A and B are shown apart, each in its own frame.
Chain A
């Protein structure tokens, strides 16, 4: 293995490949920052550029785009409360409040350092843990995927600030919206209200853009501050080193988020969109100051951005070992491997190990390249957005939301739906329903439905078909984790009940 690693390193350090990695990272970051352009779309858009390249260079370019794109989503999440990619949904929770408090640079630096650490961790896991971890993921059947979805939904207890019941309702609303269109099993056309345009379902990105951007635009406008700026900016001396130090001392948060990102990346079908929310939830639960989450807390930004970049390496693990894409952009990379005459799977290590390791190390190099480019580029962007008056920011976001929702499927109905979901999102927010549980339901809905119905079908041989959901021991582990995750916030309340009241001055952190 060391011999192949060395060969891969030599390939990556070639001037041509290094330039491709830099170009790919920058392009990925720009595309990731544009709402509506997902990592999958960015990787797919640039596939034609790799046709004329040798496999190692082509894969190095795509890997760098992927890594840069996942990170780039943080810029718009932090600066305009719009996740550039679904992997940055959680980054809006604390990143945008930080930007509004004039701490945008701190959030960008935190996201950059976290992304780089997560990206490198994912690549190390990819290199050393690929075969054993992929084996565990392969044991997941439909029932286990259903329980993974249920486990994901237990995050609601943490995401639903204010009312838990409203969080549950919001998640169910998201799940139901995800069922619009053709059923994944059986092919039933559901809840289209007779419109053929709805048969393809509602695209997640369309809803994401609508529910996160439009309510924010309406809120900014409703404040009547057209001539002013939406985001504050305070120049802070030494923000780069101070924030880097603040991130590096969060060892537990970094390690936990890296592990979550890598593990979720390995699960086929689950990607950064789930990993960032799970990591945010776990960071909040483990924090000594969970009440600060959602108010502009650096730990939240670090958790989400570390996890979503760790997904990149994790998602490639099943791709290169089993030929199963871990996350949607990996499916595009799968296609490129096939185009280049390489068969994804164990043979890749045996027959073209040089190319495989070049690809892996290129991902690591991209994670490193992100740091200087992201820090300086991101800080410039923060200053630019902070100086931009609302009168230009609002139509600027408008134009991006329209392009973003249209470009996904070249469908005009999507643009109208995006606006419709935006208005619904604003109304729901006014009524106390937060966007995050709704989005979580949208993401987990299809995974849960496919798992549940497939498990039901496989259980036809039993006297009670639903028994299939409880047979595998992994299911029981996931059920136990879900119960624990659901009940965890209430343990804190119980503990407080049994604790003696502390004296004044004991809780000031000194």
Chain B
């Protein structure tokens, strides 16, 4: 992505964030808004400058001085699958508990990232490693450190 495009896209997204917070302003006391309002105003100003500069030489100069991005192509598919599994893991945590989501989450990511061709027999090994990791975490956190991990609503 070009530096100027990044600047424009980044500035617009941040301006949307500022606008969303500005619309949420509903202070009950005169003190709650002093600090965030000042920051919102300054941020909007800085973003306006960044956006304006992205249409000038400034962005072009920066583009020339930029380092080339590391590595080759971005593997969006793998990223989406792993991100999706992590999201499902987080959402299901309170219902299925740490142990079950941990085993399934760990097992599925490690199996998926195992590379092509994906072997169905490999699932057993990934799940076994997942069980070992989850047991280790339960012993360390729940028993040694006494940090409670969620058992899951369906098991309560």
Contacts and interface: CB of A to CB of B under 8 A. Distances in A.
Q: Do A and B interact with each other, yes or no? A: yes
Interface of A: 31, 37, 45, 48, 162-163, 165-166, 168-169, 172-173, 175-176, 179, 183, 185-193, 214, 217-218, 221-224, 226-227, 390-392, 394-396, 398-399, 402-403, 406-407, 410, 412, 415-416, 418-419, 423, 427-428, 430-433, 448-449, 452-453, 456-457
A389 to B, nearest CB: 8
A188 B28 contact: yes
B82 to A, nearest CB: 5
A193 B49 contact: no
Interface string B1-31: 1010011011101100110010011011111
Contact of B9 (A175, A217, A407, A431): A431
A371 B128 CA distance: 36
Contact of A218 (B14, B29, B82, B149): B82
A191 B21 contact: yes
A448 B36 CA distance: 11
SS class of chain B's interface: helix, strand, loop or mixed?
A: helix
Given A172-B43, A188-B31, A394-B113, A221 B10 contact: no
A416 B87 CA distance: 7
A416 B90 contact: yes
B148 A415 contact: no
B86 to A, nearest CB: 6
Contacts of A430: 1, 6
B31 A183 contact: yes
A396 B134 CA distance: 10
A494 B86 CA distance: 49
Contacts of B36: 176, 179, 190-191, 449
B43 to A, nearest CB: 4
A403 B75 contact: no
Contacts of A396: 106, 133
Contacts of B79: 218, 221-222
Nearest to B136: A399
A395 B53 contact: no
B82 A217 contact: yes
B86 A398 contact: yes
Contacts of A402: 89-90, 93, 98, 102, 105
Contacts of A175: 39
14 contacts: A165-B53, A173-B14, A218-B79, A223-B74, A226-B114, A227-B114, A391-B111, A391-B115, A392-B129, A412-B94, A431-B6, A432-B6, A453-B31, A457-B31
A406 B149 contact: yes
B2 to A, nearest CB: 11
Contact of A398 (B47, B89, B146): B89
A395 B110 contact: yes
B120 interface: no
B155 interface: no
Nearest to B101: A402
A45 B10 contact: no
Nearest to B65: A162
A153 B149 CA distance: 37
Interface residues of B, number: 75
Interface string B91-134: 10110001000100111011111110000000000000110011
B34 A456 contact: yes
B46 A415 contact: no
Given A190-B36, A407-B147, A416-B90, A428 B10 contact: yes
A188 B71 contact: no
Interface in B57-87: 62, 66, 71-72, 74-76, 78-79, 82-83, 86-87
B126 to A, nearest CB: 8
A431 B10 contact: yes
Given A179-B39, A188-B33, A227-B115, 9 more contacts: A165-B50, A186-B30, A217-B82, A394-B110, A396-B133, A398-B105, A412-B94, A412-B150, A449-B36
Contact of A391 (B18, B110, B134): B110
Contacts of A399: 102, 105-106, 133-134, 137
Nearest to A187: B29
B154 interface: no
Contact of A452 (B34, B43, B87, B146): B34
Nearest to A417: B90
B49 A394 contact: no
B32 to A, nearest CB: 3
A223 B71 contact: yes
A396 B102 CA distance: 10
Given A169-B14, A173-B14, A183-B32, A222 B21 contact: no
Contact of A166 (B10, B21, B24, B72): B10
Given A410-B148, A412-B150, A188 B14 contact: no
A358 B42 CA distance: 50
* A-B pairs, 8 with minimum CB distance: A188-B32, A226-B113, A186-B31, A186-B29, A431-B10, A391-B113, A395-B109, A224-B75
B34 A453 contact: yes
**Residue from B36, B74, B130 whose CB has the most chain A CB atoms within 10 Å:** B36
Contacts of B66: 162
Nearest to A414: B90
B55 interface: no
